[in-house]
Amino acid sequence: MRKAYIFLFILILSGCNRNLTVEPENYVLLYQKQSLLDSLVGTCSTFLIRTVILDTVNTVGYQKLQINLNAKTDGDLSSVEMFYYKGDSIKTLFSLNGISQINNTNSVTSSSPEDKTQIFVRLKLYSSVCTGQLYYLKIRNVVINGIK
C-alpha cells in the first residue's frame, strides 16, 4: 500500500512539472533608462503637460513590445501616454489614466511599430481636488523589450 502512495505522489509531481513548463518568449532589450525619466509638480489649479523624447528605437522584426515602467501620481486626473508618429498621425503604445492605473501598472504589452521610430512619453498632471497641497507625477525605470 505504501508503494502505491509513493507511485501516486510521483505521478502527481510529474504532472505538475509538465504544466509549469512554459515556452519562454523571445525578449530583446531595445531601450532602458534606469533612473528618473521625468517629474511634474504643481497645484490643483495647474494643468501641466510635458512631452519627453525617449530615443529612436529600432522595432523592426518585433511583433509586440513589452514596456516596463514605474510611475506614481497623486493627481486623480493625471495620465501617462507613450506614443510614436506614423506619417502625420499619433499612434499610441499605451495610455494610463488616473491614480489607480498609473500607480498599479508595472508592465504593458503593446503592438510594435515594426519600424525604426522615435518614441515619446507625454505626462499630464492634473487634480480635481484642491487642498492647497502640491501634486506630483513621476516616471522612472523605463525598459522596452521587443517580443518576436
Interior/surface letters 1-39, b for 16+ CB within 10 angstroms, e for the rest:
eeeeeeeeeeeeeeeeeeeeeeeeeeeeebbeeeeebbe
pLDDT tens-digit series, residues 29-78: 999 999 999 999 998 777 899 999 999 999 999 999 999 999 999 999 99
pLDDT at 2: 56
Question: Stretch 16-35: mean pLDDT, rounded?
Answer: 69
Instruction: For the chain, give the percent of residues with pLDDT over 70.
Output: 83
Mean of the per-residue pLDDT values for the chain?
86
Position with higher pLDDT, 120 vs 25: 120
Is a pLDDT exceeding 80 seen at residue 8? no
* Domains recognised in the chain with CATH numbers: 25-147 (2.60.120.260)
pLDDT at 25: 62
Q: Give CA–CA dist 55/131, Å, rounded.
A: 37
pTM for the model: 0.78
